[in-house]
Every structure is written in structure tokens, then in C-alpha cells.
Amino acid sequence: MNHSKRISVVTDEISQDFDYALDVAAEYGISTVDVRTVWNENIVFLSDDELERMQKALDQRNMQINVITSPFGKCVFPSSRFSTKRKKSLWRNPEFNLELFDRIVEISDFFKTPNIRIFSFFEKRKSKVDDKWEEMINLIKPYVKKAENIGKTLLLENDYMFMVADIEHTIRFFEDLNSDALQLILDPGNYYMEGDLTTREAYANFYERDLVNHIHVKDPKYMIPGITGIFTVVGKGKINYDSIFKQAIDYGYEGYFCLETHALRNKEQVSRKSLKYMIKTLREI
């Protein structure tokens, strides 16, 4: 089987020009993409006319969207001293952030996909995670219930800047919320940045629990402690993606391997080189 047919890409990792990003993706045989920012605007702020323009571009190329890569939950807690209601900030105004859920659902309906990416609230102080855990669960739970009622799937992305950053808390998150409307975007690059394992053994629990809906592919080159990481061409960094891909396939994973390079410079070129590596590797499995 040619598993390279299951490669997708976050379009802004190629270009903010949606048509151009689709054309580049098509060069590599990609027909399914994820969307996060388009024309330098977050997907949640695009008008209906702009969504129509996107759909026309997709239809012209016989392509589709798999995940609405939304910013839901990518914010501070309401109880945070950095929280504010004075401006419409995705990051600092959690009330504004969470109120966008209905619009995100509308966008997912428009593009005929059930899949919505979510986060677990900003908390970099790992000593505070357990203290804030119940608050986080109570904030997310109503939206999980909404997703259950309307046939949507909320895809949690593990992230080293947020509450659910390591493998232990990922498992705890899914156990505590216990919903078929909630699944995982497995992001090995983010686990690496958290200082967690990126091995087959580390992720076996996710597959055995049937949690993995989507896989983000990015490859860290090195970490700037306490700040962020520098990412490189996939296959040139710290993660053994040959093994990650093979494990997914061995477990019967049926989702996409979605390129999200996080390159700071030369995004298109880094994405092109990464796609070549992914195609070659997945064809050989």
C-alpha cells in the first residue's frame, strides 16, 4: 500500500496565499489539507465570502479540508493575572476565545468536516498544572458535550506551553473527560519540546486506547530552554519519524500524517524538502 497518499499539510506552512499553497500541495499528490491562517488572518475571523473563496479554490483542485486548526483553548485561564476582558485577544481574553466555538463549528460545517483542533489553556509553570487541572477540565467539558450533541470531534493537540504537555497528562485528560467526541492530535515534536519521550513505547498507550485521530509532523533541531524550539526539515532533526510512521501503520492508524514544520524562515522550501522525505519514507513502509 502507498501510505504517502495519507500525507496532508497545514497550508500556512507553505504560504498565506491559499491558492498557491494548494498548488504546491498538489505537486506532491496531496488532496487533503488543514487550515489555520489564510491570507494572514486566523481561520476563525474569515468572513463567509472568504470561506466561499476558499471552497472555490478547493473545488477547482478537487481538494478538501480535514481539520479546522482552530485556536480554541489557546489562551490563559480566566483566573490568570494576565486575563483581560478589555480587548478581543485570542490569547489574553479567554471569554472571547471560548465564545468563538460556535463560529468554529459553523466553519467546520461549511467545509464538511467534523474535526476541530483544540488546546488545553496556557500554563508554563509545571508545578501549577495539578492545581489548575480541575479548572481546565470544567472549562472544556461543556464544549465536549456540545461536540457530542452535534457530531463534531475535538482534537486535542499536546503542547509544551499548555496544561496537557506530557504523555502522563495526555492520558489523564482523556480519562477525565471520557468522551468519544474527543481524540488526540499526536505531536511528537511538541512532546520532545516538553522533554518527554518520542519512542514507539511511549506512544503505544495512545494507540491501544484508540485515541490517535491525527498526527502532526515537525522535527525539532534544538531547544531554547524555557522559551521555544528551532525546527528543521523533517528527517533532519531529533525525531525518528521512520519509526513513528511505522508504528502508526502497524497499529492500523487510518488518519493523516500532517506536515506542520514550524520553520521560522524559508517555510515553503522547508515544507517542500519535508514532503519529499515523508513521501519517500511512507512509500517504503
Q: Is the pLDDT of residue 227 over 70?
A: no
Residue 234: CATH number of its domain: 3.20.20.150
pTM exceeds 0.85 for this model: yes
Once rounded to an integer, what is the mean pLDDT over residues 79-96? 93
Q: How far is CA 119 from CA 5, 71, 162, 193, in A?
A: 28, 7, 7, 16
Q: Is the pLDDT of residue 131 over 70?
A: yes
* pLDDT value for 2: 86
| Total domains in the fold of the chain | 1
Residue 1 pLDDT level (bands cut at 50, 70, 90): confident
Exposed (0-12), middle (13-18) or buried (19+): which is 84, by Cβ within 10 Å? middle
**Strand (E) or helix (H) holding 185:** strand 182-186
Residue 246 pLDDT level (bands cut at 50, 70, 90): very high
Contact 189, 219 (CB under 8 A): yes
Instruction: Look up the domain containing 83 and give its range.
Output: 3-284
Round the average pLDDT of the chain to a whole number and report it: 96
Distance CA 6, CA 32 (A): 8
Residue 21 φ/ψ region, left for φ over 0, alpha for ψ in the -120 to 50 degree band, beta for the rest: alpha
Give 47's contacts (C-beta < 8 A, 6+ positions apart).
Answer: none
